[in-house]
Structure 1
Amino acid sequence: MSAVNPTVKAIAILIPGVLLGLTFDIYTPLVYLLFVFVVTLWLSDIPFKRWITFFAPFVLFIASFSWARLLYTSDTFQGGSVLFSFWTFEVTTGGVAVAISLALRSLCFIALSLLFILTTDSTKFMLSLMQQLKLSPKITYGVLAGYRFLPTFKHELDVLRQAHRIRGVSRAKGIRGRIQQFKRYSIPLLANAIRKAERVANAMESKGFTGERDRTHYHMMTVTKRDWIFLGMMVGALLLTFATSYYFGYLNIFGHQFG
Protein backbone atom coordinates (compact mmCIF):
# COMPACT_ATOMS: atom_id res chain seq x y z
CA MET A 1 0.00 0.00 0.00
CA SER A 2 2.81 2.42 0.83
CA ALA A 3 4.38 1.78 -2.59
CA VAL A 4 1.29 2.93 -4.50
CA ASN A 5 1.74 6.27 -6.27
CA PRO A 6 0.30 8.92 -3.88
CA THR A 7 -1.56 10.82 -6.61
CA VAL A 8 -3.24 7.65 -7.89
CA LYS A 9 -4.02 6.68 -4.31
CA ALA A 10 -5.60 10.08 -3.66
CA ILE A 11 -7.79 9.73 -6.77
CA ALA A 12 -8.73 6.17 -5.77
CA ILE A 13 -9.94 7.52 -2.43
CA LEU A 14 -11.52 10.74 -3.69
CA ILE A 15 -13.81 9.06 -6.24
CA PRO A 16 -15.48 6.67 -3.73
CA GLY A 17 -15.74 9.51 -1.21
CA VAL A 18 -17.68 11.68 -3.66
CA LEU A 19 -19.93 8.87 -4.92
CA LEU A 20 -20.75 7.66 -1.41
CA GLY A 21 -21.96 11.15 -0.59
CA LEU A 22 -24.86 10.60 -3.00
CA THR A 23 -26.24 7.54 -1.20
CA PHE A 24 -28.81 7.58 1.59
CA ASP A 25 -29.29 3.88 2.24
CA ILE A 26 -27.60 1.75 4.89
CA TYR A 27 -26.42 -1.20 2.82
CA THR A 28 -24.07 0.63 0.39
CA PRO A 29 -21.85 2.52 2.89
CA LEU A 30 -21.86 -0.42 5.32
CA VAL A 31 -20.52 -2.88 2.75
CA TYR A 32 -17.92 -0.45 1.45
CA LEU A 33 -16.81 0.43 4.98
CA LEU A 34 -16.12 -3.25 5.64
CA PHE A 35 -14.22 -3.44 2.34
CA VAL A 36 -12.01 -0.44 3.23
CA PHE A 37 -11.37 -1.91 6.67
CA VAL A 38 -10.23 -5.24 5.17
CA VAL A 39 -8.06 -3.53 2.53
CA THR A 40 -6.41 -1.29 5.13
CA LEU A 41 -5.39 -4.16 7.40
CA TRP A 42 -4.65 -6.65 4.61
CA LEU A 43 -2.61 -4.58 2.16
CA SER A 44 -0.77 -2.34 4.65
CA ASP A 45 1.45 -2.88 7.66
CA ILE A 46 -0.72 -0.72 9.93
CA PRO A 47 -1.34 -2.51 13.26
CA PHE A 48 -4.99 -2.84 14.20
CA LYS A 49 -4.35 -1.21 17.57
CA ARG A 50 -2.91 1.90 15.93
CA TRP A 51 -5.71 2.09 13.39
CA ILE A 52 -8.45 1.78 15.99
CA THR A 53 -6.73 4.45 18.13
CA PHE A 54 -7.23 6.97 15.33
CA PHE A 55 -10.65 5.66 14.28
CA ALA A 56 -12.42 5.29 17.62
CA PRO A 57 -12.62 9.02 18.62
CA PHE A 58 -14.45 9.82 15.38
CA VAL A 59 -17.12 7.23 16.18
CA LEU A 60 -18.23 9.19 19.25
CA PHE A 61 -18.22 12.46 17.31
CA ILE A 62 -20.26 10.99 14.46
CA ALA A 63 -22.75 9.46 16.90
CA SER A 64 -23.47 12.93 18.30
CA PHE A 65 -24.32 14.66 15.02
CA SER A 66 -26.15 11.57 13.72
CA TRP A 67 -28.46 11.94 16.71
CA ALA A 68 -29.09 15.55 15.69
CA ARG A 69 -29.79 14.39 12.14
CA LEU A 70 -32.27 11.87 13.56
CA LEU A 71 -34.27 14.65 15.24
CA TYR A 72 -34.09 17.16 12.39
CA THR A 73 -34.68 14.93 9.37
CA SER A 74 -36.21 16.76 6.41
CA ASP A 75 -39.69 15.94 5.14
CA THR A 76 -38.21 14.13 2.13
CA PHE A 77 -36.80 11.38 4.37
CA GLN A 78 -39.35 11.59 7.21
CA GLY A 79 -41.26 8.54 6.01
CA GLY A 80 -42.29 5.28 7.59
CA SER A 81 -43.99 4.60 10.88
CA VAL A 82 -43.39 6.61 14.04
CA LEU A 83 -41.12 4.76 16.48
CA PHE A 84 -41.37 7.17 19.41
CA SER A 85 -41.87 10.84 20.23
CA PHE A 86 -39.36 13.04 21.98
CA TRP A 87 -40.60 16.42 23.20
CA THR A 88 -41.86 18.03 19.95
CA PHE A 89 -39.99 15.57 17.69
CA GLU A 90 -41.28 12.41 16.10
CA VAL A 91 -38.71 9.76 15.25
CA THR A 92 -39.70 7.65 12.26
CA THR A 93 -38.15 4.62 10.60
CA GLY A 94 -37.13 6.82 7.66
CA GLY A 95 -35.35 9.26 9.97
CA VAL A 96 -33.50 6.42 11.70
CA ALA A 97 -32.40 5.00 8.36
CA VAL A 98 -31.08 8.39 7.18
CA ALA A 99 -29.23 8.96 10.47
CA ILE A 100 -27.57 5.54 10.31
CA SER A 101 -26.72 6.09 6.65
CA LEU A 102 -25.12 9.45 7.49
CA ALA A 103 -23.06 7.84 10.24
CA LEU A 104 -21.88 5.02 7.97
CA ARG A 105 -20.99 7.44 5.16
CA SER A 106 -19.00 9.56 7.57
CA LEU A 107 -17.18 6.50 8.87
CA CYS A 108 -16.37 5.56 5.27
CA PHE A 109 -14.84 9.01 4.68
CA ILE A 110 -12.75 8.64 7.84
CA ALA A 111 -11.63 5.11 6.97
CA LEU A 112 -10.62 6.25 3.47
CA SER A 113 -8.77 9.25 4.91
CA LEU A 114 -6.89 7.07 7.40
CA LEU A 115 -6.01 4.67 4.60
CA PHE A 116 -4.37 7.54 2.73
CA ILE A 117 -2.77 9.35 5.67
CA LEU A 118 -1.28 6.31 7.40
CA THR A 119 0.19 4.81 4.22
CA THR A 120 1.44 7.92 2.39
CA ASP A 121 4.70 9.80 2.80
CA SER A 122 4.11 13.56 2.64
CA THR A 123 7.28 14.22 0.63
CA LYS A 124 6.41 11.60 -1.98
CA PHE A 125 2.88 12.98 -2.19
CA MET A 126 4.14 16.48 -2.97
CA LEU A 127 6.64 15.14 -5.50
CA SER A 128 3.89 13.08 -7.13
CA LEU A 129 1.61 16.11 -7.40
CA MET A 130 4.44 18.03 -9.02
CA GLN A 131 5.44 15.29 -11.47
CA GLN A 132 2.12 13.62 -12.29
CA LEU A 133 -0.33 16.54 -11.97
CA LYS A 134 2.20 19.24 -12.94
CA LEU A 135 1.57 21.29 -9.80
CA SER A 136 3.80 24.33 -9.47
CA PRO A 137 7.10 23.62 -7.62
CA LYS A 138 6.62 26.87 -5.71
CA ILE A 139 3.47 25.47 -4.13
CA THR A 140 4.76 21.96 -3.46
CA TYR A 141 8.10 22.98 -1.94
CA GLY A 142 6.36 25.73 0.03
CA VAL A 143 3.94 23.21 1.53
CA LEU A 144 6.80 20.82 2.32
CA ALA A 145 8.81 23.55 4.03
CA GLY A 146 5.79 24.60 6.11
CA TYR A 147 5.07 20.99 7.03
CA ARG A 148 8.65 20.54 8.26
CA PHE A 149 8.31 23.61 10.47
CA LEU A 150 5.34 22.26 12.46
CA PRO A 151 7.35 20.05 14.87
CA THR A 152 9.79 22.90 15.55
CA PHE A 153 6.93 25.22 16.53
CA LYS A 154 5.85 22.83 19.26
CA HIS A 155 9.42 22.61 20.55
CA GLU A 156 9.79 26.40 20.56
CA LEU A 157 6.48 26.78 22.39
CA ASP A 158 7.69 24.36 25.09
CA VAL A 159 10.93 26.34 25.40
CA LEU A 160 8.99 29.61 25.79
CA ARG A 161 6.79 28.13 28.49
CA GLN A 162 9.79 26.84 30.43
CA ALA A 163 11.57 30.20 30.09
CA HIS A 164 8.52 32.02 31.45
CA ARG A 165 8.22 29.56 34.30
CA ILE A 166 11.88 30.05 35.25
CA ARG A 167 11.35 33.82 35.31
CA GLY A 168 8.39 33.43 37.66
CA VAL A 169 5.61 34.05 35.13
CA SER A 170 2.72 31.86 36.23
CA ARG A 171 -0.03 30.49 34.03
CA ALA A 172 -2.65 33.06 33.12
CA LYS A 173 -6.09 32.98 34.67
CA GLY A 174 -9.22 34.47 33.20
CA ILE A 175 -9.94 35.68 29.69
CA ARG A 176 -7.81 38.82 29.93
CA GLY A 177 -4.85 36.89 31.30
CA ARG A 178 -5.09 34.30 28.53
CA ILE A 179 -5.13 37.02 25.88
CA GLN A 180 -1.96 38.52 27.34
CA GLN A 181 -0.39 35.08 27.52
CA PHE A 182 -1.27 34.50 23.86
CA LYS A 183 0.56 37.71 22.94
CA ARG A 184 3.63 36.68 24.93
CA TYR A 185 3.78 33.40 23.03
CA SER A 186 2.64 34.46 19.54
CA ILE A 187 5.05 37.37 18.95
CA PRO A 188 8.30 35.38 19.55
CA LEU A 189 6.94 32.41 17.59
CA LEU A 190 5.97 34.66 14.68
CA ALA A 191 9.41 36.34 14.70
CA ASN A 192 11.17 32.96 14.64
CA ALA A 193 8.90 31.76 11.84
CA ILE A 194 9.78 34.79 9.70
CA ARG A 195 13.51 34.25 10.30
CA LYS A 196 13.24 30.58 9.32
CA ALA A 197 11.23 31.41 6.21
CA GLU A 198 13.91 33.87 5.11
CA ARG A 199 16.68 31.33 5.71
CA VAL A 200 14.84 28.65 3.73
CA ALA A 201 14.13 31.07 0.88
CA ASN A 202 17.79 32.14 0.73
CA ALA A 203 18.95 28.51 0.85
CA MET A 204 16.61 27.46 -1.97
CA GLU A 205 17.63 30.44 -4.10
CA SER A 206 21.34 29.78 -3.53
CA LYS A 207 20.84 26.20 -4.75
CA GLY A 208 19.28 27.36 -8.01
CA PHE A 209 15.60 26.96 -7.19
CA THR A 210 13.62 29.26 -9.47
CA GLY A 211 10.19 27.61 -9.39
CA GLU A 212 10.27 26.53 -13.04
CA ARG A 213 8.22 23.49 -13.98
CA ASP A 214 10.87 22.07 -16.35
CA ARG A 215 13.35 20.77 -13.81
CA THR A 216 15.08 17.51 -13.03
CA HIS A 217 14.22 15.43 -9.97
CA TYR A 218 16.39 13.22 -7.82
CA HIS A 219 13.36 11.09 -6.86
CA MET A 220 11.27 10.18 -9.90
CA MET A 221 7.65 9.25 -9.18
CA THR A 222 6.12 6.91 -11.76
CA VAL A 223 2.72 5.33 -12.32
CA THR A 224 2.98 1.56 -12.68
CA LYS A 225 0.60 -1.29 -13.33
CA ARG A 226 0.25 -1.83 -9.58
CA ASP A 227 -1.13 1.70 -9.18
CA TRP A 228 -3.79 1.16 -11.85
CA ILE A 229 -4.76 -2.14 -10.21
CA PHE A 230 -5.25 -0.38 -6.87
CA LEU A 231 -7.35 2.35 -8.52
CA GLY A 232 -9.45 -0.23 -10.32
CA MET A 233 -9.89 -2.25 -7.13
CA MET A 234 -11.13 0.70 -5.04
CA VAL A 235 -13.48 2.10 -7.68
CA GLY A 236 -14.55 -1.33 -8.94
CA ALA A 237 -15.48 -2.47 -5.43
CA LEU A 238 -17.67 0.60 -5.03
CA LEU A 239 -19.39 0.04 -8.39
CA LEU A 240 -19.96 -3.61 -7.44
CA THR A 241 -21.48 -2.45 -4.15
CA PHE A 242 -23.78 -0.09 -6.03
CA ALA A 243 -24.78 -2.90 -8.36
CA THR A 244 -25.63 -5.36 -5.57
CA SER A 245 -27.44 -2.62 -3.65
CA TYR A 246 -29.51 -1.91 -6.77
CA TYR A 247 -30.15 -5.61 -7.33
CA PHE A 248 -31.51 -6.16 -3.82
CA GLY A 249 -33.52 -2.91 -3.91
CA TYR A 250 -31.54 -1.05 -1.23
CA LEU A 251 -29.96 1.68 -3.36
CA ASN A 252 -31.19 5.14 -2.37
CA ILE A 253 -29.79 8.27 -3.99
CA PHE A 254 -31.03 11.60 -2.60
CA GLY A 255 -34.23 10.00 -1.36
CA HIS A 256 -35.05 8.17 -4.59
CA GLN A 257 -35.25 4.40 -4.26
CA PHE A 258 -33.75 2.30 -7.05
CA GLY A 259 -33.93 -1.38 -7.73
Structure 2
Amino acid sequence: MTDTGPLTAATATHSSVDAYAPRVQASAVRFLYGLNPLAKLAAPLPAMALLVFVRDAATPAAFLLLAYAVLLIGVAFTRRLAAVLFVLLPVSALVIGFGFALWTDPSRVDQSVVVWQLGGWTMYGGAFAVGAATGLRLSAIVALTLIAGLSTTGPDLVRATVQQLRVPYRIGYTALAAFRFVPRFGHELDVIRQAHRVRGAHGGRGPFAAAARWFGYVVPLMAGAIRHAERVALAMDARAFGAHPDRTERHIVPWRGRDTVFVIAFWAVSAMLFVAFFPWGLS
Protein backbone atom coordinates (compact mmCIF):
# COMPACT_ATOMS: atom_id res chain seq x y z
CA MET A 1 0.00 0.00 0.00
CA THR A 2 1.46 3.34 -1.07
CA ASP A 3 0.79 6.81 0.23
CA THR A 4 -0.29 9.09 -2.61
CA GLY A 5 -1.17 12.09 -0.49
CA PRO A 6 1.86 14.32 -1.29
CA LEU A 7 1.69 13.44 -4.96
CA THR A 8 -1.98 14.27 -5.12
CA ALA A 9 -1.45 17.55 -3.33
CA ALA A 10 1.42 18.50 -5.60
CA THR A 11 -0.58 17.63 -8.67
CA ALA A 12 -3.51 19.74 -7.51
CA THR A 13 -1.23 22.63 -6.63
CA HIS A 14 0.59 22.76 -9.97
CA SER A 15 -2.15 21.57 -12.32
CA SER A 16 -2.39 25.05 -13.83
CA VAL A 17 1.08 24.73 -15.38
CA ASP A 18 1.18 20.97 -15.71
CA ALA A 19 1.61 19.87 -19.31
CA TYR A 20 -0.04 16.56 -18.45
CA ALA A 21 -3.05 18.09 -16.72
CA PRO A 22 -6.28 16.24 -17.61
CA ARG A 23 -8.69 17.70 -20.11
CA VAL A 24 -11.34 19.99 -18.74
CA GLN A 25 -14.72 18.29 -18.46
CA ALA A 26 -17.23 20.82 -19.79
CA SER A 27 -20.61 20.86 -21.48
CA ALA A 28 -21.01 20.62 -25.23
CA VAL A 29 -21.64 24.37 -25.36
CA ARG A 30 -17.99 24.94 -24.47
CA PHE A 31 -17.01 23.90 -27.97
CA LEU A 32 -13.35 24.95 -27.87
CA TYR A 33 -12.34 21.93 -25.77
CA GLY A 34 -13.54 19.56 -28.52
CA LEU A 35 -11.59 21.19 -31.34
CA ASN A 36 -8.22 20.16 -32.67
CA PRO A 37 -5.43 22.32 -31.14
CA LEU A 38 -4.13 23.17 -34.61
CA ALA A 39 -7.55 24.53 -35.59
CA LYS A 40 -7.55 26.84 -32.57
CA LEU A 41 -4.10 28.05 -33.58
CA ALA A 42 -4.78 28.41 -37.31
CA ALA A 43 -8.09 30.27 -36.94
CA PRO A 44 -6.84 33.48 -35.24
CA LEU A 45 -3.33 33.41 -36.72
CA PRO A 46 -4.04 35.52 -39.88
CA ALA A 47 -5.87 38.13 -37.83
CA MET A 48 -3.02 38.29 -35.32
CA ALA A 49 -0.50 38.77 -38.13
CA LEU A 50 -2.52 41.55 -39.79
CA LEU A 51 -3.22 43.34 -36.51
CA VAL A 52 0.50 44.03 -36.22
CA PHE A 53 0.20 46.43 -39.17
CA VAL A 54 -3.04 48.11 -38.01
CA ARG A 55 -2.80 51.65 -36.66
CA ASP A 56 -6.42 52.56 -35.88
CA ALA A 57 -8.32 51.78 -32.68
CA ALA A 58 -11.60 50.48 -34.10
CA THR A 59 -10.18 47.38 -35.79
CA PRO A 60 -8.37 45.93 -32.75
CA ALA A 61 -11.37 46.82 -30.59
CA ALA A 62 -13.60 44.76 -32.90
CA PHE A 63 -11.23 41.79 -32.75
CA LEU A 64 -11.00 42.16 -28.99
CA LEU A 65 -14.78 41.85 -28.75
CA LEU A 66 -14.69 38.85 -31.13
CA ALA A 67 -12.10 37.09 -28.98
CA TYR A 68 -14.12 37.86 -25.85
CA ALA A 69 -17.26 36.38 -27.42
CA VAL A 70 -15.48 33.19 -28.49
CA LEU A 71 -13.86 32.76 -25.07
CA LEU A 72 -16.99 33.44 -23.05
CA ILE A 73 -18.93 30.90 -25.09
CA GLY A 74 -16.30 28.27 -25.82
CA VAL A 75 -14.36 28.10 -22.54
CA ALA A 76 -15.60 27.16 -19.07
CA PHE A 77 -16.11 30.39 -17.14
CA THR A 78 -13.90 30.54 -14.04
CA ARG A 79 -12.60 33.23 -11.70
CA ARG A 80 -9.25 33.09 -13.43
CA LEU A 81 -10.86 33.68 -16.84
CA ALA A 82 -12.91 36.55 -15.42
CA ALA A 83 -9.78 38.09 -13.87
CA VAL A 84 -7.88 37.84 -17.15
CA LEU A 85 -10.65 39.17 -19.39
CA PHE A 86 -12.14 41.85 -17.17
CA VAL A 87 -9.19 42.97 -15.06
CA LEU A 88 -5.78 42.01 -16.42
CA LEU A 89 -6.33 42.77 -20.12
CA PRO A 90 -8.17 46.10 -19.61
CA VAL A 91 -5.63 47.31 -17.07
CA SER A 92 -2.77 46.25 -19.34
CA ALA A 93 -4.35 48.06 -22.28
CA LEU A 94 -4.70 51.25 -20.21
CA VAL A 95 -1.14 51.11 -18.90
CA ILE A 96 0.36 50.37 -22.32
CA GLY A 97 -1.79 53.02 -23.98
CA PHE A 98 -0.83 55.67 -21.47
CA GLY A 99 2.83 54.73 -21.72
CA PHE A 100 2.87 54.97 -25.51
CA ALA A 101 0.99 58.27 -25.33
CA LEU A 102 3.82 59.66 -23.20
CA TRP A 103 6.53 58.29 -25.49
CA THR A 104 4.98 59.40 -28.78
CA ASP A 105 6.78 62.19 -30.58
CA PRO A 106 4.47 65.25 -30.35
CA SER A 107 5.69 66.56 -33.70
CA ARG A 108 4.28 63.52 -35.52
CA VAL A 109 0.71 63.54 -34.16
CA ASP A 110 -2.38 65.70 -34.48
CA GLN A 111 -1.92 68.79 -32.30
CA SER A 112 -5.40 70.26 -32.68
CA VAL A 113 -6.52 69.03 -29.24
CA VAL A 114 -4.47 69.78 -26.12
CA VAL A 115 -5.14 67.39 -23.22
CA TRP A 116 -2.87 69.06 -20.70
CA GLN A 117 0.24 71.18 -20.55
CA LEU A 118 3.01 71.14 -17.96
CA GLY A 119 5.52 73.89 -18.46
CA GLY A 120 7.00 73.44 -21.90
CA TRP A 121 5.61 69.93 -22.36
CA THR A 122 2.19 69.40 -23.95
CA MET A 123 0.12 66.23 -24.21
CA TYR A 124 -1.91 66.25 -27.43
CA GLY A 125 -5.01 64.27 -28.27
CA GLY A 126 -3.22 62.70 -31.20
CA ALA A 127 -0.69 61.12 -28.84
CA PHE A 128 -3.52 59.69 -26.75
CA ALA A 129 -5.08 58.24 -29.91
CA VAL A 130 -1.80 56.54 -30.82
CA GLY A 131 -1.44 55.12 -27.32
CA ALA A 132 -5.01 53.85 -27.24
CA ALA A 133 -4.61 52.16 -30.62
CA THR A 134 -1.39 50.49 -29.51
CA GLY A 135 -2.87 49.25 -26.23
CA LEU A 136 -5.96 47.88 -27.97
CA ARG A 137 -3.86 46.24 -30.67
CA LEU A 138 -1.65 44.38 -28.20
CA SER A 139 -4.64 43.40 -26.06
CA ALA A 140 -6.49 42.05 -29.11
CA ILE A 141 -3.49 39.93 -30.10
CA VAL A 142 -3.19 38.53 -26.57
CA ALA A 143 -6.93 37.81 -26.40
CA LEU A 144 -6.76 35.92 -29.70
CA THR A 145 -3.91 33.78 -28.40
CA LEU A 146 -6.04 32.86 -25.37
CA ILE A 147 -8.47 31.03 -27.67
CA ALA A 148 -5.96 28.21 -27.95
CA GLY A 149 -4.11 28.82 -24.71
CA LEU A 150 -7.10 28.44 -22.38
CA SER A 151 -8.58 25.35 -24.05
CA THR A 152 -5.59 23.24 -25.08
CA THR A 153 -3.34 20.90 -23.12
CA GLY A 154 0.33 20.40 -23.90
CA PRO A 155 0.09 16.69 -24.80
CA ASP A 156 -2.79 17.28 -27.22
CA LEU A 157 -0.88 20.05 -28.97
CA VAL A 158 2.18 17.82 -29.34
CA ARG A 159 0.09 14.90 -30.57
CA ALA A 160 -1.63 17.14 -33.10
CA THR A 161 1.65 18.49 -34.47
CA VAL A 162 3.04 14.96 -34.74
CA GLN A 163 -0.09 13.48 -36.30
CA GLN A 164 -1.26 16.30 -38.58
CA LEU A 165 1.87 18.38 -39.27
CA ARG A 166 4.19 15.34 -39.39
CA VAL A 167 6.61 16.83 -36.89
CA PRO A 168 9.11 14.12 -35.87
CA TYR A 169 8.00 12.63 -32.59
CA ARG A 170 11.56 12.88 -31.30
CA ILE A 171 11.24 16.67 -31.39
CA GLY A 172 7.67 16.90 -30.15
CA TYR A 173 7.89 14.58 -27.18
CA THR A 174 11.34 15.83 -26.21
CA ALA A 175 9.95 19.37 -26.04
CA LEU A 176 7.02 18.10 -24.00
CA ALA A 177 9.36 16.34 -21.57
CA ALA A 178 11.31 19.59 -21.18
CA PHE A 179 8.10 21.53 -20.55
CA ARG A 180 7.19 18.99 -17.89
CA PHE A 181 10.14 20.31 -15.88
CA VAL A 182 8.20 23.49 -15.05
CA PRO A 183 5.75 22.01 -12.51
CA ARG A 184 8.53 19.75 -11.25
CA PHE A 185 10.69 22.78 -10.47
CA GLY A 186 7.76 24.43 -8.72
CA HIS A 187 7.18 21.40 -6.53
CA GLU A 188 10.86 21.06 -5.63
CA LEU A 189 11.10 24.78 -4.85
CA ASP A 190 8.18 24.45 -2.44
CA VAL A 191 9.88 21.49 -0.74
CA ILE A 192 13.16 23.41 -0.42
CA ARG A 193 11.41 26.45 1.03
CA GLN A 194 9.61 24.31 3.60
CA ALA A 195 12.86 22.62 4.58
CA HIS A 196 14.57 25.98 5.04
CA ARG A 197 11.71 27.30 7.15
CA VAL A 198 11.79 24.21 9.37
CA ARG A 199 15.54 24.64 9.92
CA GLY A 200 15.29 28.40 10.40
CA ALA A 201 17.81 29.06 7.65
CA HIS A 202 18.21 32.52 6.07
CA GLY A 203 15.67 34.20 8.32
CA GLY A 204 15.10 37.89 8.63
CA ARG A 205 13.72 40.63 6.45
CA GLY A 206 15.09 43.01 3.90
CA PRO A 207 16.76 42.68 0.50
CA PHE A 208 19.94 41.02 1.82
CA ALA A 209 17.99 38.31 3.65
CA ALA A 210 15.86 37.70 0.55
CA ALA A 211 18.97 37.45 -1.62
CA ALA A 212 20.52 34.99 0.85
CA ARG A 213 17.36 32.87 0.81
CA TRP A 214 17.22 32.75 -2.99
CA PHE A 215 20.92 31.93 -3.20
CA GLY A 216 20.30 29.05 -0.80
CA TYR A 217 17.60 27.73 -3.13
CA VAL A 218 19.82 27.62 -6.21
CA VAL A 219 22.15 24.74 -5.36
CA PRO A 220 19.55 22.20 -4.15
CA LEU A 221 17.22 23.19 -7.00
CA MET A 222 19.93 22.61 -9.59
CA ALA A 223 20.87 19.29 -7.97
CA GLY A 224 17.24 18.18 -8.09
CA ALA A 225 16.98 19.28 -11.74
CA ILE A 226 20.03 17.24 -12.69
CA ARG A 227 18.70 14.16 -10.90
CA HIS A 228 15.32 14.55 -12.57
CA ALA A 229 16.94 14.98 -16.01
CA GLU A 230 18.96 11.81 -15.51
CA ARG A 231 15.86 9.85 -14.52
CA VAL A 232 13.96 11.13 -17.57
CA ALA A 233 16.86 10.24 -19.87
CA LEU A 234 17.12 6.73 -18.42
CA ALA A 235 13.36 6.24 -18.73
CA MET A 236 13.40 7.33 -22.38
CA ASP A 237 16.35 5.06 -23.16
CA ALA A 238 14.67 2.12 -21.43
CA ARG A 239 11.64 2.59 -23.69
CA ALA A 240 13.82 2.80 -26.83
CA PHE A 241 12.74 6.36 -27.49
CA GLY A 242 13.93 7.43 -30.94
CA ALA A 243 14.94 3.94 -32.05
CA HIS A 244 12.30 3.84 -34.79
CA PRO A 245 11.20 6.44 -37.37
CA ASP A 246 7.62 6.46 -36.02
CA ARG A 247 5.69 5.24 -33.02
CA THR A 248 2.22 3.96 -32.23
CA GLU A 249 -0.02 6.63 -30.76
CA ARG A 250 -2.24 5.60 -27.89
CA HIS A 251 -4.28 8.80 -28.00
CA ILE A 252 -5.42 10.09 -31.39
CA VAL A 253 -6.20 13.79 -31.87
CA PRO A 254 -8.08 13.79 -35.18
CA TRP A 255 -8.93 16.65 -37.49
CA ARG A 256 -12.70 16.60 -37.86
CA GLY A 257 -15.16 18.49 -40.01
CA ARG A 258 -16.01 20.85 -37.16
CA ASP A 259 -12.36 21.93 -37.06
CA THR A 260 -12.52 22.93 -40.71
CA VAL A 261 -15.82 24.75 -40.15
CA PHE A 262 -14.39 26.67 -37.19
CA VAL A 263 -11.28 27.76 -39.09
CA ILE A 264 -13.21 28.84 -42.20
CA ALA A 265 -15.85 30.66 -40.13
CA PHE A 266 -13.23 32.51 -38.10
CA TRP A 267 -11.32 33.48 -41.23
CA ALA A 268 -14.55 34.71 -42.84
CA VAL A 269 -15.49 36.84 -39.82
CA SER A 270 -11.94 38.22 -39.65
CA ALA A 271 -12.03 39.13 -43.34
CA MET A 272 -15.37 40.87 -42.92
CA LEU A 273 -14.03 42.92 -40.01
CA PHE A 274 -10.95 43.99 -41.96
CA VAL A 275 -13.05 44.88 -44.99
CA ALA A 276 -15.57 46.79 -42.87
CA PHE A 277 -12.97 48.90 -41.08
CA PHE A 278 -10.20 48.76 -43.73
CA PRO A 279 -7.62 50.34 -41.41
CA TRP A 280 -4.93 50.89 -44.07
CA GLY A 281 -6.72 53.54 -46.11
CA LEU A 282 -6.60 54.04 -49.87
CA SER A 283 -3.94 56.72 -50.20
Q: Which residue of 1 aligns with 2:268?
A: 236
Q: Which residue of 1 aligns with 2:81?
A: 51
Q: Which residue of 2 aligns with 1:200?
A: 232
Contact persistence 1:137–1:212 (CA under 8 A): no
The Cα of 1:47 is off from its aligned counterpart by: 0.9
Contact persistence 2:71–2:147 (CA under 8 A): yes
Give distance in 1, aligned partners of 2:172 and 2:66. 32
Cα 1:77/1:20, change in 2 over 3 Å: farther
Give distance in 2, aligned partners of 1:177 and 1:126. 42
Q: Which residue of 1 aligns with 2:23?
A: none
**TM-score (ref. length: structure 2):** 0.79
The amino acid across from 1:142 in the alignment is T
Instruction: Using the TM superposition, name which of 107-116 and 132-141 deviates more.
Output: 132-141
2:201 is matched with which residue: 169, 175, 181?
Answer: 169
Cα 1:160/1:92, change in 2 over 3 Å: same
The answer to whether 1:60 aligns with 2:91 is yes
The Cα of 1:224 is off from its aligned counterpart by: 2.0
Give distance in 2, aligned partners of 1:232 and 1:214. 31
The Cα of 1:212 is off from its aligned counterpart by: 5.0
Contact persistence 1:71–1:90 (CA under 8 A): no
Q: Which residue of 2 aligns with 1:126?
A: 158
RMSD across aligned positions (CA): 2.3
The answer to whether 1:31 aligns with 2:43 is no
The Cα of 1:24 is off from its aligned counterpart by: 1.0
Q: Which residue of 2 aligns with 1:106?
A: 138
In the TM superposition, 1:1-259 aligns within 5 A as 1-42=32-73, 44-47=74-77, 49-55=79-85, 56-74=87-105, 78-79=109-110, 81-87=112-118, 88-171=120-203, 173-210=205-242, 212-246=244-278, 251=279, 253=280, 257-258=281-282
The amino acid across from 1:103 in the alignment is G
* Deviation digits for residues 111-163 of structure 1 (CA, Å, limit 9, x no counterpart): 11222111111110011122222323233222222333322322222222222
Give distance in 2, aligned partners of 1:211 and 1:244. 54
* Deviation digits for residues 195-227 of structure 1 (CA, Å, limit 9, x no counterpart): 111111111111121165433222223222211
Give distance in 2, aligned partners of 1:80 and 1:23. 21
Higher relative contact order (CA 8 A, sep 6+): 1
**TM-score (ref. length: structure 1):** 0.86
**Structure 1, unaligned stretches of length 5 or more?**
none
The Cα of 1:176 is off from its aligned counterpart by: 4.4
Instruction: Using the TM superposition, name which of 194-203 and 147-156 deviates more.
Output: 147-156
